[in-house]
Amino acid sequence: MSTETSTATATATTAPRTEPAATLLRVENLHTVFEKDDGVVHAVNDVSFDVRRGEVLAIVGESGSGKSITAMSLLRLIPSPPGQIIGGRVLFDGQDLLDLPDDAIRQLRGRDISMIFQEPMTSLNPSLRIGRQLAEPLRVHGSVPKDKVRERCIELLRQVRIGDPEKRLDAYPHELSGGMRQRVMIAMGLACLPRLIIADEPTTALDVTVQAQILELLRDITRASQSSMMLITHDLGVVARYADRINVMYAGRIVERGTAHDIFHRPRHPYTVGLMESMPRLNDAIGNRLTPIPGSPPDLSDPPSGCPFHPRCRFAQPRCKQERPPLERLDEEHWKACWVNLDDTH
């Protein structure tokens, strides 16, 4: 693994390094595997990206693409066994999170980096009042004096636009609607003013009108606090609206990276092109036929040789079967992992 054996314990928060000022989190060659009955699954394979200060970075992919595993690997939340991070570095403020002792990473979770999950129903303890659960991160990290905790909780609920926050503190999770619960989860995530929020499908379980409320709220809050957000989702509509930059994942690898404009208007990887063509949109012509991507995603315990997308790719060439294309820079922000040079006409 990493060669960095720095004094990571004590200086969890203050470690200005030689990082470019804009980068908050840098992931290098992350590799996470799962041991299964029938072999090793390379769920995340050689993934590198960075999150800049104040931006919303999206990771999009279909189920099994490794997007959630990537997020969980960053905070070392991979269930082990059967999972294992077998390589790479996750540099946050210049220190490698994969090298931190357990205590230090626990300290960091929720304080510097917090995570918001998909299911608001199971993420809250049904037998504890909202106030108690909201105060938990504040108590754990001791970031607010004890007598100020309740005040801060009310402030947090107000921030996520929950009406009548004094009363809501004494409510139990089942007394709140799904959207409200997700707001509480966001409030918990925000409690310690994290610098990075990882939102893993934060609205998938919610109705579309509620989804809009929650996502607008999340974006407004991250903007106001100048923190960064990693948005993990399969919903291209959500990505188009909220992301500054986008990583497209397929079969455990990043296949294309670029600004929202790059990805939606100038996609250069056949998979991204395929996604755009197969998706019904509200603004396309009524009655036009969708162009699906043929086949299904590969079995990651037995991935295809060469480019993982080549069996489904209509542009595939003999080379794609033998050699895996590296992620290469096209221009300032735009990267792709493909041997074929696509232009706007495909």
Partner 1 sequence: MTHTDSHTDVTTPLLQVSGLKVHFPLRPGLFGKPAAMVKAVDGVDFTVHRGETLGLVGESGCGKSTTGLAVLRMTPLTEGRIVFDGEDISHPDAATTKRLRRKMQMVYQDPFGALNPRMRVLDIIGEPLRVHRLTRTRAEYRERVMDLLDRVGLKAEMADRYPHEFSGGQRQRIGIARALAADPSLIICDEPVSALDVSIQAQVINLLEDLQRDLGLTYLFVAHDLAVVRHLCHRIVVMYLGRVVEVADRERLYQAPRHPYTQALLGAIPIADPDPEVQARFNPSVDGEVPSPIDPPPGCPFHPRCPHATDLCRREAPRPLDVEDGHSVACHLHDPSRAAEMNHSEPSYQEQARNIA
Partner 2 sequence: MSLSIQTPAAAAPATPPRRRAHPKTLRFLRRLCKERPLGALGAMICLVLLLTGLFADVIAPEGFNAINPIERLKAPSAEHWLGTDQLGRDVFARIVHGAQLSVIVAFAATTLSIVISALLGILSGYFGGRLDMIIQRLVDGWMCFPDLILLIVAVAVLGPGTWQVILILGLLFGISGSRIIRGAVLSAKQNVYVHAAQSMGASSPRILLKHILPNVMAPLIVLYTTRLAAVILAESGLSFLGLGIPPPEPSWGGMLSLDGRSYMFQAPWLAIAPGIALTVAVFGINMFGDALRDLLDPRMRGGGGRYLARVKRTIGS
Which helix (H) or strand (E) is 117 found in, with range? Answer: none
Judged by beta carbon distances under 5 to 8 A according to partner kind, the member of partner 2, partner 1, none in contact with residue 185 is partner 2
Q: Under the criterion CB under 8 A, does residue 101 sit at the interface with partner 1? A: no
Q: Under the criterion CB under 8 A, does residue 241 sit at the interface with partner 1? A: yes
Interatomic CA distance for residues 334 and 160, integer angstroms: 34
Q: Under the criterion CB under 8 A, does residue 307 sit at the interface with partner 1? A: no
Interatomic CA distance for residues 228 and 53, integer angstroms: 6
Interatomic CA distance for residues 290 and 276, integer angstroms: 10
Q: Under the criterion CB under 8 A, does residue 156 sit at the interface with partner 2? A: no
Contacts of partner 2 in 53-72 (CB under 8 A): 72
Q: Under the criterion CB under 8 A, does residue 136 sit at the interface with partner 2? A: yes
Kindly give the residue spans of alpha helices, DSSP state H, lying in the chain: 67-74, 102-108, 130-141, 149-159, 165-168, 178-190, 208-225, 236-242, 260-265, 270-278, 318-322
Cβ-based neighbours of 293, under 8 Å, separated by 6 or more:
271, 274, 275, 278, 312
Side-by-side strand order, sheet with 253-259: 113-116, 196-200, 228-233, 56-60, 245-250, 253-259, 335-336, 328-329
Judged by beta carbon distances under 5 to 8 A according to partner kind, the member of partner 1, partner 2, none in contact with residue 77 is partner 2
Question: Which member of 6, 48, 107, 123 binds partner 2 (CB under 8 A)?
Answer: 123
Q: Under the criterion CB under 8 A, does residue 281 sit at the interface with partner 1? A: yes
Q: How far apart are the first and last CA of the chain?
A: 40
* Least Cβ distance, residue 111 to partner 2 (angstroms): 10
Coil, strand or helix at 293: coil
Q: Under the criterion CB under 8 A, does residue 149 sit at the interface with partner 2? A: no
Q: Beta strand 335-336 with 328-329: parallel, antiparallel or unpaired? A: antiparallel
Q: Under the criterion CB under 8 A, does residue 279 sit at the interface with partner 1? A: yes
> Between 6 and 45, how does the x/- string for binding to partner 2 read (CB under 8 A)?
---------------------------xxxxxx-xx----
Judged by beta carbon distances under 5 to 8 A according to partner kind, the member of partner 2, partner 1, none in contact with residue 125 is partner 2
Judged by beta carbon distances under 5 to 8 A according to partner kind, the member of partner 1, partner 2, none in contact with residue 81 is partner 2
Please say which residue, 274 or 325, places its beta carbon nearer to partner 1: 274
Inter-CA distances, 8 with 92, 140, 197, Å: 11, 20, 22
> Between 83 and 112, how does the x/- string for binding to partner 2 read (CB under 8 A)?
xxxx----------------------xx--
The binding site for partner 1 (CB under 8 A) comprises: 62-63, 177-180, 207-213, 215-216, 234-243, 260-261, 264-265, 274-283, 286, 289-294, 296-297
